[in-house]
Amino acid sequence: MLQSALRHGLIGLLLITPALAAPTAEQRGKAFARANCARCHAIDRVSKSPLGTAPPLRSLHRRYPIDSLGEALAEGIYTGHDDMPAFELSPGQIHDLLSYLKTLE
Ligand code: HEC
C-alpha cells in the first residue's frame, strides 16, 4: 500500500520534473529578452516600447528575416546608435532569443 503510493508519487515526480527543470528555448529567450532588452524594447505582442525610439521586438521580423538577425546578434548588434548598447550573444542565447522572436511573428 505504502509502497505503491510511493511508487506513484515517484512516477508523478519523474513526469513533472523535466517540465520544471528544462524551460523551452522560447522561455529562455523570453527571460533573456526581459532581462536585457525590455527596458527599451517592448518584448511582448501588444505593449509600446519603454524607449520610444526602440522598435518593439515583435516588429523586427518585418525589417529583418529572423534568421539573419542571428548573424547580427553573433557579431554583436551595433546600430551606431548611442541609445542601443552593443551586445554579443553566445550561440545558445541567440538560438533561444530567435526562438522567442518567432513566437511573436
Ligand atoms: C538602452 C536601450 C536598448 C536596449 C537595452 C536594447 N536596445 Fe535594441 N534598440 C534600441 C534603440 C533606441 C534602437 C533603434 C536604433 C535606431 O533606430 O537607430 C534599437 C534597435 C534595435 C534593433 C534594430 C536595429 C536596426 O538596425 O534597425 C534590433 C535588432 C535590436 N535593437 C535588438 C535588441 C536586442 C535583441 C536587445 C536585447 C539583447 C536590445 N535591442 C536591447 C535601444 C535598446
Specify the pLDDT at position 16: 64
Contact by Cβ (8 Å): 102, 33? no
- Any ligand 1 atom below 6 A from CB of 77: yes
Name the phi and psi angles at 49, rounded to 5: -65, 135
Instruction: Give residue for cell 522561455.
Output: 27
Nearest to 100 by CA among 54, 16, 41: 41
Instruction: Give residue for cell 533561444.
Output: 96
Q: Cβ atoms within 10 A of the Cβ of 27, count?
A: 14
pLDDT averages per 10-residue partition of the chain, 105 residues: 67 64 90 93 95 91 82 68 71 92 90
- Any ligand 1 atom below 6 A from CB of 82: no
